[in-house]
Amino acid sequence: MSLEKESWVLVGGLGKEQALWKALGKPLMRVIGSDYILREQTFTPTPWALAVFPEYLTHNYAGLVKESRGILHMSQSLLSCYLAIDMALIYQKPAWILVPGENWKLFFFSGNESDGCLHCLMPYTPPQPALLWKKPDEQWIDLLVSLWNTPPQHSTIWHTPSESETLSVSPSCPLHRGEHPFLEGKIQPIVAVSCGENSVAITPSFERPIDLSAYTQTMKSLVTIRKSNAFFLEIEYEHFTSLIFKQGRCIVKGTKEKNTALFLYRLLVGI
């Protein structure tokens, strides 16, 4: 069997990638993304990986998942979790997913199409800005490592490291009905790099409204709000300026790097 089929796909972003790889006994891994260094506008190098793909997970990586043992997912994007589950379900691959949020969770998908998935438990809803979350506690990593060689027989989610439930298939789950909107790219951010200006525009391909007044109250201690009206906010974070519109669209000024814009979109808008 080829090395690729013996390897796992690790979707990174939390800065725990190398530590997890070591704790699991250094399995073969192909890494998509890693901890993003905003000041350098680049991903943290992962020379220990079998292969590295310096961007965020998209539906274009389905073939990579198909030719692997399974998925490990550790990022700040909830949407990316659902994309990973869509891939795992259609190719019947096991998946370990840290589910981001104010309260993190650990989800294990068995790879069996008759088991429930993350979408069976909670259909995707755009989350709060990732800047509001704390990074997951180390106990989640410890739990994953302790279960790595003897995973549950059925799909399971841990709400706390000591509280879990087995998931059954929901009859309303589109992924189990043979629909794959995440894998088909129907639910994704659309990125457009400006030809003239030093900016990148991100537009969600789905409904993603933002209450700008509530957003201002929640985020004002974390960002600098330069301008506000009924239609958009102009904010500063680090050395970037972003225009955030009430429809969920965002224009990041000061870069032409799409990964920088996506990183800021996760932090400032949430996806």
Helix, strand, coil: what percent of the chain each, to 5?
Answer: 25, 25, 50
pLDDT tier, 2 (very low <50, low <70, confident <90, very high otherwise): low
pTM: 0.95
Question: Strand order in 8-11's β-sheet?
Answer: 51-53, 29-32, 8-11, 71-73, 95-99, 105-109, 156-160, 163-166
**Is the pLDDT reported for residue 270 higher than 60?**
yes
| pLDDT above 90 coverage of the chain, percent | 94
Sequence-distant (6+) residues with CB within 8 A of 267 are 76, 129, 130, 131, 237
* Residues 130-147: tens digit of each pLDDT: 999 998 999 999 999 999
121 domain-assigned: yes
Which residues form the domain of 235?
189-268
* Residues 197-219: tens digit of each pLDDT: 899 999 999 989 999 999 999 99
Are 214 and 153 in a shared domain?
no
The predicted model gives 69-87 an average pLDDT of 97
Are 207 and 238 in a shared domain?
yes
Interatomic CA distance for residues 129 and 215, integer angstroms: 9
Are 150 and 206 in a shared domain?
no
Are 15 and 132 in a shared domain?
yes
**Is the pLDDT reported for residue 56 higher than 90?**
yes
pLDDT at site 19: 96
pLDDT at site 196: 83
110's tokens: 């068995």
181 domain-assigned: no
Q: How many domains does the chain have?
A: 2
Are 88 and 146 in a shared domain?
yes
The residue among 86, 79, 85, 89 whose CA lies nearest residue 97 is: 85
Are 101 and 27 in a shared domain?
yes
**Is the pLDDT reported for residue 1 higher than 60?**
no
pLDDT at site 23: 97
pLDDT tier, 91 (very low <50, low <70, confident <90, very high otherwise): very high
In contact, 8 and 70? CB cutoff 8 Å:
yes
124 domain-assigned: yes
The residue among 58, 131, 116, 70 whose CA lies nearest residue 97 is: 70
Give phi and psi for 164, each to the nearest 5.
Answer: -140, 165
Identity at 218, one-letter amino acid code = T
23 domain-assigned: yes
Average pLDDT, the chain: 95
Are 119 and 243 in a shared domain?
no
Are 212 and 127 in a shared domain?
no
CATH number of the structural domain spanning residue 153: 3.40.50.720
Identity at 169, one-letter amino acid code = V
250 domain-assigned: yes
pLDDT at site 97: 98
89 domain-assigned: yes
CATH number of the structural domain spanning residue 257: 3.30.310
182 domain-assigned: no
| pLDDT above 70 coverage of the chain, percent | 99
177 domain-assigned: no
The residue among 121, 189, 132 whose CA lies nearest residue 158 is: 121
pLDDT at site 26: 97
Q: How many helices (H) and strands (E) does the chain have?
A: 8, 16
Are 20 and 91 in a shared domain?
yes
Are 9 and 111 in a shared domain?
yes
Are 144 and 33 in a shared domain?
yes
